[in-house]
Amino acid sequence: MRKSQEEQVQNFLNGINLMDSEKAQPLIDIREIILETYPEAKEKIMYGGIVFSLNNELFSGIFLNKNHITIEFSNGYLMKDPNGHLEGKGKYRRHLKVMKREDVLSKEIAYFVKQAV
């Protein structure tokens, strides 16, 4: 796991392993995809999860829920989604639900992250 420069983010990541080890690895995998795709992205704790921004503009967030992990995209309505993975009917935001580690690949998270900015 890549260590965060933000103390609150690192504490959140450390706490996930203790709270819900089953969801910890998929969340860490998603975070890694975002940071590999956008190495200059900033991360911080906001809205109860980790949000990512470039040039002070939020583009994505990862949130731990009781039964799943949600990865949200601020401008998800603009994304191509040929396999119908994105959920949400809001004006802009769309999200993906991840139940297990295999969903990181099967729901094509890297494909959507590349479209996030």
Q: What is the pLDDT of residues 58-116, one digit of tens each?
A: 999 999 998 999 999 999 999 999 999 999 998 999 999 999 999 999 999 999 999 99
Q: Rounded to two decimals, what is the model's pTM?
A: 0.93
Q: Confirm if 26 and 104 have CB atoms less than 8 A apart.
A: yes
Give CA–CA dist 108/81, Å, rounded. 10
- C-alpha 35/C-alpha 53 separation (Å) is 11
Q: Return the closest-CA partner of residue 66 out of 4, 22, 114.
A: 22
Q: Which domains does the chain have, with CATH numbers?
A: 7-115 (3.90.1150.200)
Q: The tokens of 116 are what?
A: 């996030």
